[in-house]
Structure 1
Amino acid sequence: MRHGKKINHLGRTASHRKAMLSNMASSLILHKRLSTTVAKAKALRKYVEPLLTKSKNDTTHSRRTVFAYLQNKESVKELFDEVSSKIAGRPGGYTRILKTGYRLGDNAEMCVIELVDYNEDMLTSAAAATTGAKKTRRRSSGKKKDEASATETKAAATESKDEAKDAE
């Protein structure tokens, strides 16, 4: 049973795990995409998403806090200058994990973790999909459609009655 096990230790000591996640987060910020195992990607997502959220508020304190995690000046500069402006309107979910198959040597499940706003292929397909009718996200849209169609038919019936009276 895994009672109380909040984090995946990834078979490493605490210092090794901290250093590995810091390096992976820096690489993800600098290169926008990273190929790794699924377990490491899920651990990295928990590590890097709060840093991305903190980068939206560009203050000296938030820069120092992020630097304490990343330990890389170039990645901190990239994060606060370019990445934060792209993710400013997004409320969360800054990374995407795409599974790519299994590694030949040990059959570990591999994936690509990437920053969502930097995948041009997905952005162009999403833009093409949104050019159509605007869709709203609702859970129980069946009731709304039935009520809307009922009110439309009532309105159409009253209009036809009014037109008939005007014709007389």
Structure 2
Amino acid sequence: MPTPTRGPRLGGSPAHERLMLANLATSLFKHGRITTTETKAKRLRPLAEQLITKAKRGDLHARRQALSVVRDKDVVFALFDQIAPRFSNRQGGYTRIVKTGPRKGDAAPMAIIELVEELEVAAPKAPRAADRKAAKADSIAVLAGDEAEATPVAAAEAAGEDAAEAKAADQADAAKDEETKA
């Protein structure tokens, strides 16, 4: 557990800091991104990440704990039903702090704290040994001129056509064959 801060907390009492961070968290979950001072953003990050982790649990107790911090029921609903599912595969690091320039009036260092957008990127799969052997056999058949043994996708790739178009054409041919059999 981190050591608690001593002395004045963000320019006020502990209760004032708790309420200020709750309001910042509400705004962050409502808008997805807020601009604040670097100090407030650094103090908000652990609270926001704890709330997202509770929202990922999704049970009634976690919802009540989130409601004790974020007083807006609509924001808590969005947190549990929209924000938490986005981070279901992520173990932490739900927020990002980007430092911006100083504030014009008092030159306070400013920062943007935002929810990290989770991109669904499929990792490229390594071809299995059977797939590699089939591809090799297809390419050998196409090079040997025996296109009857080669799949249409391999023949199209050898001819320089788009593999997706060849695959779609192959599926259409298979569908026609099934219709004629029926």
In which range does the TM-score fall when normalised by the shorter chain? 0.5 to 0.7
Q: How many residue pairs align between the two structures? A: 123
Q: Please state how far the C-alpha of 1:72 moved relative to its aligned partner.
A: 1.3
Matches within 5 A, 1:118-129: none
Q: Which runs of 5+ in 1 are unaligned?
A: 135-168
Q: Which residue of 1 aligns with 2:58?
A: 58
CA deviations on 1:13-53 (whole Å, 9 max, x unpaired) are 11211111111101100100000000000000021111111
Q: Please state how far the C-alpha of 1:133 moved relative to its aligned partner.
A: 10
Q: Which residue of 2 aligns with 1:100?
A: 100
Q: Which residue of 2 aligns with 1:76?
A: 76
Cα distance 1:14–1:5, how it changes in 2: closer, same or farther (>3 A)?
closer
Q: Which residue of 2 aligns with 1:115?
A: 115
Deviating above 2 A after TM superposition, structure 1's stretches of 4 or more consecutive aligned residues are: 4-8, 130-134
* Percent of aligned pairs sharing the same letter: 41
Matches within 5 A, 1:13-162: 13-117=13-117
TM-score by length of 2: 0.61
Distance 2:4 2:61 in 1: 31
**TM-align CA RMSD:** 2.4
Q: Which runs of 5+ in 2 are unaligned?
A: 127-182
- Higher RCO (Cα < 8 Å, 6 or more apart): 1
Q: Please state how far the C-alpha of 1:132 moved relative to its aligned partner.
A: 8.6
